[in-house]
Chains A and B, each alone.
Chain A
């Protein structure tokens, strides 16, 4: 091998290591920013907190006004790529603390989910790890003894909070793969649904798109209303219901790249 090639090769290798270093640094910066925000925050007065946030922004201020005609409070979640799943779980579990009927039908669905996922080819050994933690939390929620504060603490405990997110990701992946014929219409590129799930659904910290929301809400039979707040012309904050036509049990606020929890007036 000539010296030139060797040098070129050395450069390629150095380049790769630079890429690794840059990625690590970027991840560290992102982590530092996101760790400054709790996994799930306290309930805040919606108009007070958002009006302050957008005081010098006329478009958003108008939308905050519209939003506060429908919602009283907001609960923020950490922007770590898991915010949709964490916000969904917190809002729904909070509702289940006092809603026995919905709890029962939810419990029936999730207690069967493990076998369904194993049938779809998920490895039993690692799946069980997440299922067991998830069900422990679900049973505690349905015990009738759980106070709001306990739920709040549990969702701010990284271990339990993240395991809940992982299991919801697996349920979402299971639904997408089970009904792949339908959901394939919504994904870009020439890839299989299984490949999509491995890349975009199952790994932690991967952000959610419409398709994740549709699949999770359909799998659990839980209606989700998302309010979209962006720079669009409308003075209203547009609502989308998932699955279409259902009564929402969970209300979320979407601002580009992030989901928080909303509470109706």
Chain B
């Protein structure tokens, strides 16, 4: 089982290195263990996260890509779809029937033809457009809805922090 997972992860790493999507770098933390990756995600332009560089960890199960990886930001984050401890909560990281948030049926789910690249691109979209209906961080979801100016101030502080400017 882990054999096909390893082969697939190596192929995905190669693909991401040769054709990196804009604003995203990802790869194994060390090449001895392909089941733990680090990703650096640039905050999307024109959003309150613009200019930030956000580090995250991806942990793959031994039956990847049949089951999805887990993803967790390792920097401070304040976002409706990210738990206080950094865990990312979006539909593509869940197989159907395995969604504590009860996502809409049209939301993109995990299936074996998805990839790390698709996940990271979804996370970029999530930074740009939070889904405040499935709040992993209730405070952030509430503030995003009710006090956007304050939300933007917190985001800016976090952006500066990721750049070592705070």
Contact = CB atoms under 8 A, between A and B. Distances in A.
A27 B98 contact: yes
Interface stretch (B33-41, B72-80, B108-116, B155-163): B108-116
B101 A16 contact: yes
A206 B97 contact: yes
Contacts of B4: 133, 159-160, 162-163
B138 A9 contact: yes
A112 interface: no
Indicate the size class of the contact surface on chain A. 35 or more
B8 A129 contact: yes
B105 interface: yes
Nearest to A159: B4
B100 interface: yes
Nearest to A127: B113
Nearest to A205: B95
Given A12-B138, A159-B1, A191-B106, A204 B66 contact: yes
A99 interface: no
Interface string B57-68: 000000101110
A13 B96 contact: no
B136 A16 contact: yes
Interface residues of B, number: 32
A44 B14 CA distance: 46
A16 B105 CA distance: 19
A162 B63 contact: yes
A170 interface: yes
Contacts, number: 80
Dominant secondary structure of chain B at its interface with chain A: loop
A199 B109 contact: yes
Contacts of A189: 105
Given A27-B98, A158-B1, A199 B113 contact: no
A129 B98 contact: no
A126 B113 contact: yes
A28 to B, nearest CB: 13
Contact of A166 (B66, B95, B98): B66
B164 interface: no
A249 to B, nearest CB: 27
Nearest to A191: B105
Contact of B105 (A19, A123, A162, A199): A199
Interface in B1-55: 1, 3-4, 7-8, 11, 15
A195 B105 contact: yes
Contacts of A202: 111-113
Contacts of B96: 198-200, 203, 206
B139 interface: yes
Given A13-B138, A123-B115, 12 more contacts: A9-B138, A125-B115, A126-B113, A126-B114, A126-B115, A158-B63, A162-B4, A162-B63, A166-B66, A166-B112, A198-B109, A202-B111
Interface of A: 1, 9, 12-13, 16, 19-20, 23, 27, 122-123, 125-127, 129-130, 133, 158-160, 162-163, 166, 170, 189, 191-192, 195, 198-200, 202-206
8 contacts: A12-B138, A129-B11, A133-B4, A189-B105, A198-B96, A199-B105, A203-B112, A205-B95
Interface of B: 1, 3-4, 7-8, 11, 15, 63, 65-67, 95-98, 100-101, 105-106, 108-115, 118, 136, 138-139, 142
